[in-house]
Amino acid sequence: MKPQALIDLLREFTAAKLGLKRRHEAAARRVGTYDFNNTYQYVIAREESHLDWLCRAIRDLGAEPPADAAALPEPAGGKGADAQATVLADDARMVQAFLDRWQGPAGQVTDSRQKLMLRIILGEMLEQKRFFDQAVAGRLDLLGRRTGPNEASGSVLATRWVE
């Protein structure tokens, strides 16, 4: 793969990944169940790492990362378990669509460093899809099991602080 083709691929991948991260941030404001929201926080933190890696890789190749993200639909409105399940199912589908779109092109990268980075990102995204699928199925132990005897009650606020 020629250097410019690699830069173009990484820039397009980064824009798509940034769009997905923004979608997950919006979804986290709609999904209030503690275990599901904590999963979104974990996913978003990993996406921030992925975007950092991608931006560094693009800069190392002498280019600038994209400023704009790929546009994705806002999470569905509503409240309650059904609305949360819809948001989670939509995110599972979007992550799968990302994987379907990028696994082939990532496999064609010839630079071993960049290929490994993309493979790690896509592997972690496969785990994220599994989290979303399990949340839709009602599993609460996505990031581990509770050590205490009590279930979490209440929900996470959509806005945690005001600046």
Question: Which among 118, 117, 106, 140 is positioned nearest to 33, based on CA atoms?
Answer: 140
Degrees (nearest 5) of the Cα angle 140, 143, 146?
65
**Distance in angstroms (rounded) separating the CA atoms of residues 137 and 55:** 35
Instruction: Show the domains of the chain with their CATH numbers.
Output: 3-68+77-136 (1.20.1260.10)
Lookup: tokens for 19? 């769009």
Lookup: tokens for 149? 């005897």
pLDDT at position 162, please?
46
**Is the Cα dihedral 131, 136, 138, 140 positive or negative?**
positive
pLDDT per residue, tens digit, the chain (163 aa), is 899 999 999 999 999 999 999 999 999 988 888 788 889 999 999 999 999 999 999 999 999 999 898 888 888 877 778 888 999 999 999 999 999 999 999 999 999 999 999 999 999 999 999 999 998 887 666 665 655 656 655 666 666 544 4
Question: Which among 37, 34, 154 is positioned nearest to 91, based on CA atoms?
Answer: 37
